[in-house]
A and B are shown apart, each in its own frame.
Chain A
Amino acid sequence: MVNLQKRYPNGFEAVPGLDLHINDGEFLVLVGPSGCGKSTVLRMVAGLEDISDGDMLIDDVRVNEMGPQQRDIAMVFQSYALYPNMTVAENIAFAMKLRKIDKETISAKVAEVAELLELTAVLDRKPGQLSGGQRQRVAMGRAIVRQPKLFLMDEPLSNLDAKLRVQTRAEISKLQRRLGVTTMYVTHDQVEAMTMGDRVAVLRRGILMQCASPAELYDTPDNLFVAQFIGSPSMNVVTGTVAEAANGGISLAVAGQTINLSGEAAQRLAGLGGRTGSPIAVGIRPEALGGDGDQHLDVSVDLVEMLGSELLVHATVAAPSVRSTDDGVEIGGGSESTIIAKLDPRHRVKAGDRLSLSVDTLRLHAFDMETGAAIGRA
């Protein structure tokens, strides 16, 4: 996608100009909140939405004016319908017959897909004689047998229940890797995005906020929006001030307390160097609190959620929260805010306790208070 744009007749600019390259065989997930333009982008790629400006290239061929059928793409999992009177082989093959593909090619493709989906032994059976999982794989077989250049999936799991969603998520990922077909997947669910994509493109109001591997998005978000959108519970972000530590290094004043950055941590956030005395937004992931570390943040516990494998502690800290908004950065009202710490379940904590949570300074994040851009290495 080269400067891809979508403007509606009423003047609304859904996508102001998107540059995004998807590698051959890659699983790219487009994620963002409702109305961020992700489905619009997918529909432009599919040929369902007219492109206002810019170029859409598939295999270096400009496809702006081509219809969906000419682009050799497949919108998959539109329907899970299986035909009960037809065998598995017939269910997989009939769409190719419809398109007048010769018998030999059809047989070869059905055999290949059956092998891939472990359905070879049941090709002559009817759907009613299959297990639920096998039926689901036959439905996938219907979708993948065409082997297009590109698979497009628009929230394909949204009408499944939670259990089936997790199961199908894994099946799609596994299958995509085995098929190696370039795939573009749209979701609003950041967990889905993080667990499935080779890379994840985060969109907001039609603008690409960051496109990176899931780990990179999580560990080194480019901006406050990505930092808070990715991760559950989301990153805690409060106001802070850059200060000079007693040893000449960098420290952060947060909630009336001082957090000294170790040499390595200061290197990670070297961009803070010239900002002494400036306000910044300080980001701490819930799991970076309460573990190892010699720096601390005092909080008072409001609520404890025992989830079995972890303990979520909701606590009040004496600093206002900071969040990313459409217009930039917004500081929460009042002098306090709630943060969440993810602790080992063996901790004995209860509402009303005062806690001194250790802070892993190597996992601290800093953002510009005006633009929300991450402050990293200088």
Chain B
Amino acid sequence: MRLQLAKPSEHSAVVAWPLDTALDDWTIPGMQRVAGLHRHVVRMVEGRDTSYVVKELPDDLAEREWRLLRELADAGLPTVEVVGVVTARGVDRDGLLVTRHLDYSLPYRVVLSGRRLQIPYLGERLLDALAGLLVRLHLAGFYWGDCSLSNTLFRRDAGALSAYIIDVETGEQHASLSDGQRELDLQIATENLAGGLLDLQAGGQLADGIDPMETALAIEERYARLWEELTGVDEFNSDETYRVDQRLRRLHELGFDASELELVSTGDGDRLRLVPCVVEHGFHAHRLKSLTGLTAEENQARRLLNDMGRHGARLEKRTGRKLPDAVVAARWLDERFEAAIEAIPSELTGKLEPAEVYHQMLEHRWYLSERVGHDVGFEEAVASYVRDVLTTAPPEQVVRPTDTGVLPIIE
């Protein structure tokens, strides 16, 4: 048997597992079945601090997935953290792939049931998340081959959703993708999305207002629009260089940043052509992290940065001078963010991610202010949020959908 472990000091618990036993026969504490459509045996091992997902699959596939997941993570793409791979477990025994459970992720059955804390315009947010994920993968030259709801996990993202790729069995990493590869990947995604949504609908588990066929078909247009926005070539007169800023701002609004731009003059010399060469996601998340050290999804980061900006304006008014960004960030972190998070009783902490909680507090404050017709103070809004929303919200650090609709492995 051969165990390859990433970050062994962090995941030493894995070594004590019965790695030479068939996964189906494991009886260690914290073992849970994982609902969904699986080609292989998949189990969750819940630990006190960290939970893991273990999948049993042939050695070569396990090794391949281990490599691909690491490459995706290294490229900064949203995926699960791969912990280890076990191979050569003996004759007729498949290998194991161990990944870390993505905390605060929501399986699609949970997200789309609409039965938890609500996400407005759920169908739209789902499309944005999936199209965004597919575009990011394609920009990095990754062909998925099986984009589906069951191969994706979602995290709350300030009223939107962030999608994470969790199954790359059919994936291929290329230097870049041809239009044909992207087209086929999108076609598979569309069909799989329709199938997944129709299945939820047939099982009475789909939130109202989502039309499976219309939603699935819309992903093609959503993808094409985003792809064009990120990679399309702009042409303008040589005296319109403000268009470069305009284009960059549009990219930032979408959460992307161009780390390289190419500006070339056309044949007649009067016009310029702008090509964004390297487009990276996480513009706001990177900025928030660099200013405060906080990790957040892209929309959460945008929301927090906006709040930070407003706090900076208040400070400027109070002090009569503009403070440097770093100072504003430190003050905001101390006076607003941490103060709000500390107001949460210990038994309720960990239910949602701090950045998401903070976003929801801001939403709650807006909602309360609208209701009473004047601005409600932040402390009052925080107290009301904790009392009226967070107390009854289900914990989401590790969420398991009810064990329905599981198909045994085809033999």
- Which A residues lie at the B interface, using CB under 8 A? 43, 46-50, 67-69, 75, 78-86, 90-91, 94-95, 97-98, 127-128, 132, 135-136, 139, 158-159, 161, 164
Contacts and interface: CB of A to CB of B under 8 A. Distances in A.
B57 A159 contact: yes
A65 to B, nearest CB: 10
Contacts of B217: 98
A98 B186 CA distance: 14
Contacts of A82: 37, 407
Contact of A79 (B60, B148, B190, B200): B148
A267 B192 CA distance: 60
B203 interface: yes
Contacts of B411: 132, 164
Nearest to A160: B58
Contacts of A79: 146, 148, 170, 188, 192
B2 interface: no
Nearest to A81: B37
B199 A68 contact: no
B194 A81 contact: no
B202 A48 contact: no
A84 B58 contact: no
B195 to A, nearest CB: 5
A33 to B, nearest CB: 16
Contact of B198 (A94, A135, A159): A94
Secondary structure call for the B interface:
helix
Contacts of A78: 145-146, 170, 188
Interface stretch (B177-185, B300-308, B349-357, B369-377): B177-185
Among A47, A67, A90, A94, chain B packs the most CB atoms within 10 A around the CB of: A94
Nearest to B177: A48
28 contacts: A47-B184, A48-B181, A49-B178, A67-B179, A67-B180, A68-B183, A75-B184, A78-B145, A78-B188, A79-B170, A80-B39, A81-B150, A82-B407, A83-B202, A84-B199, A84-B405, A85-B203, A85-B205, A86-B198, A90-B198, A94-B195, A94-B198, A97-B194, A97-B213, A135-B407, A158-B60, A161-B94, A164-B410
Contacts of A68: 180, 183-184, 187
Contacts of B178: 48-50
A181 B170 CA distance: 25
A162 to B, nearest CB: 9
A128 B37 CA distance: 12
Interface string B89-111: 00000100000000000000000
B222 to A, nearest CB: 16
Interface in B280-329: none
Given A68-B187, A80-B39, A83-B196, A128 B410 contact: no
Nearest to A44: B180
Nearest to B194: A98
Given A68-B183, A78-B145, A85 B199 contact: yes
B407 A84 contact: yes
Contacts of B145: 78
Nearest to A91: B195
Nearest to A164: B411
Interface string B21-64: 00000000000000001010000000000000000011011000
Contacts of A69: 183, 187
